[in-house]
Structure 1
Amino acid sequence: PIDSSNVLFYCGHCAAGVRLGVKFTEEGSKVRFCKKCETEVGTIGAAKANRSAGVSS
């Protein structure tokens, strides 16, 4: 068995194994994105009022 810590996410847009980042959208939802090509991969959390300032992390 392989531990999940030893696996890279495969980005279909880059066609490579990449690291993922987390950022907030303008609506306040939290999304994962590819750090290599900046493509959004999926939503982590629903929009919240305190995140709707559009602050990136």
Structure 2
Amino acid sequence: MLSPLLLLVLTRLRWDGLRLARLPRLSGLLSEMARLFRLAELRLARLLRHAAR
């Protein structure tokens, strides 16, 4: 289970990214960062599932 603080940070980062993604110049960089972030999230979720077993 994710700690509430970590979950809050992840949510905050995601919303900041969505807000900043409206700026056209940064959108390419931010979409790439968001993609890497999602991959890291999936990897973390997989690790946590394995640890919970």
Give me the TM-score of the superposition, normalised by structure 1.
0.22
TM-score, normalised via structure 2 length: 0.23
Q: Which has the higher strand share?
A: 1
